[in-house]
Structure 1
Amino acid sequence: MEWSEQARAAERRRDWDAAIALVSADAECYATDPVRHGNHLCHMDLLVRAERLPELAELALTDVHARRRLNRSLRERGTEATLRDRAADGDLDALYVLVRLLCETGRPQAAHRVVQGIDPNNQYAHQIMAPFRSPSSGTH
């Protein structure tokens, strides 16, 4: 059985250690080989499914894919405080994910306060909020 088949079988039986070990052995961030790059993205997803957020957070310090996957997972879990902390520490992706989450859940004023407190001149954050502003909201 080829390693990729073994990894899928391990994933199906929720043997995360085996699945992660098999996939990560043939994974490379920004690889010129699309299969190795795809395996890298799969590795990040497996870490989330295995609930290994601390390991993903460690990788997120130097890996943009880990950072994005971690932030998406935090959004899915509704952990706004952690996203806010990550954004305050300079993770712009966390800021954008948090702003989208707040706006999409009917809290554009909260999103505006977050942006004002963390990065008031961030044009992309303001673009994210723009469709959610009501003319009477007074947010800019």
Structure 2
Amino acid sequence: MEWFEQARAAEQRRDWGTAIALVSAHAECYSPDPDRHDSHLQHMDLLARAERLSELTERALTDVHARRSLNRSLRERGMEAALRNRAKDGDRGALYILVRLLCETSRAQEAHRTVQDLGPDDQYAHRIVGSFRSPPSGAR
């Protein structure tokens, strides 16, 4: 797999354009060929690492892998407002990532308000907040 080795070398050099071009040529979302599907996942990861957030955002409209990669990337960059906007637009994955981020940074009250505002009926979002609450005093 010469193209794969070239893509890895480009990635190590942080030559994102070359790495993305090589990998995307062999990528296919939900392909029956596991190598093509893996290439698709790698393609989404490379877009995030290259900070091509606008391209990921466009792809996220129809591609769950792009959506997940975008949301992880927004979290890693501390872009809470962007996650909040995505959650407001109905992206449940963005909501869950935002709520976890708020809880992990000792902002459980804000996380609770976020769930109340953006997903009041979303039981999973409520469970995330609940999992970060401290146990009652005296409990071990």
Is the TM-score greater than 0.5?
yes
Counterpart position of 1:127: 127
Structure 2 spans left out of the alignment, 5+ residues: none
Aligned residue number for residue 74 of structure 1: 74
Partner of 1:102: 102
Question: 1:91 and 1:36 mapped to 2: Cα distance?
Answer: 26
How much identity, in percent, do the aligned residues show? 73
Residue 89 (1) aligns with residue 89 (2): yes
Q: Give the CA deviation at 1:135.
A: 6.4
**TM-score normalised to the size of structure 1?**
0.93
TM-score between the two structures when normalised by the length of structure 2: 0.93
Root-mean-square deviation over aligned CA pairs: 1.3
Count how many residue pairs are aligned between Structure 1 and Structure 2.
136
Distance 1:81 1:15 in 2: 29
Deviation at 1:15, TM superposition (A): 1.5
CA distance in 2, matches of 1:128, 1:28: 33
Equivalent position of 2:40 in the other structure: 40
CA distance in 1, matches of 2:135, 2:49: 41
**Counterpart-to-counterpart distance in 2, 1:107 and 1:121:** 21
User: Which amino acid counterpart does residue 95 of structure 1 have in structure 2?
Assistant: L
> Structure 1: which 5+ residue stretches go unaligned?
none
Q: In structure 1, how many angstroms separate the alpha carbons of the residues matched to 2:111 and 2:35? A: 38
AA of the residue aligned to 1:98: L
